Amino acid sequence: MLIAPSLLSCDFSRFKEEIERVDRAGADWMHLDVMDGHFVPNLTFGAPVIKKLRPHTEKPFDVHLMISQPHRYIDDFCKAGADIISFHTESDSDIDETLKLIEERGVKPALAIKPKTDIDIVLPYLDRLYMVLVMTVEPGFGGQSFMADMMDKVKRLREEIARRNLPTLIQVDGGIAKDTIRTAYEAGVDVCVAGTAVFGAPDAKEAIDEMKKLCQ
């Protein structure tokens, strides 16, 4: 299990130090939630902030675009240092064209789906995807409860990935903590985004280590 701490849950006044702290604690990726106040009812940060953070860790930047028109900003996020870019099937951008923009810039493409979206929408693109992100909360805010019924989507996706013999990863985001990560692992998840469970823990390394042990 890879753990990608969600920087949405960090202390924004100490952004650099928070990234360095979870890097030392054993984070595998850094998960960066970009929200536009339109696609979801919240605003976070954009490409200029990510560019400033990029020199402070060598860990992959996993950029999750919760924005209405991701195709307009792919170039900006690639230049800012994104290693993986996920965007939503429910956005206003053409999926095929947006994937092409990510692929052409040598960044790893991923598709994300909200809880009410059927997993079948990503299947036509599966051969091109580095990862599929299955939201286990309604996107927009941290600290929500894990939706265990989303594991049916994960299992369906895992079966299809295996059937096609693909290397595509499955990520979940929302409500991941010590009491839910095992459920995700058993369903076939490869990468867990964890916000409060890491940044709200007294010891981030201990929290990450414990979650990984629960997936063995």
Q: Give the chain as a 3 state SS string.
A: CEEEEEHHHCCHHHHHHHHHHHHHCCCCCEEEEEEECCCCCCECCCHHHHHHHHHHCCCCEEEEEECCCHHHCHHHHHHHCCCEEEEECCCCCCHHHHHHHHHHCCCEEEEEECCCCCHHHHHHHHHHCCEEEEECCCCCCCCCCCCHHHHHHHHHHHHHHHHHCCCCEEEEECCCCCCCHHHHHHHCCCEEEECHHHHCCCCHHHHHHHHHHCCC
Q: What is the pLDDT of residues 147-173, one digit of tens each?
A: 999 999 999 999 999 999 999 999 999
| Contact (Cβ atoms closer than 8 angstroms) between residue 128 and residue 99 | yes
- Average pLDDT value over all residues in the chain: 96
Instruction: Give the active site residues.
Output: 33, 173
Residue 143 has pLDDT above 90, yes or no: no
- Domain ranges in the chain are 2-213
Q: Around Cβ 80, how many Cβ atoms within 10 Å?
A: 20
- Tell me which residue has tokens 């095929």: 96
For 2-213, which CATH class? alpha beta
Q: How far apart are CA 177 and CA 145, in angstroms?
A: 10
pLDDT at 71 over 70: yes
Q: What is the pTM of this model?
A: 0.96
**Hey, what amino acid is at 124?**
P
pLDDT at 93 over 70: yes
Evaluate if residue 142 carries a pLDDT over 80. no
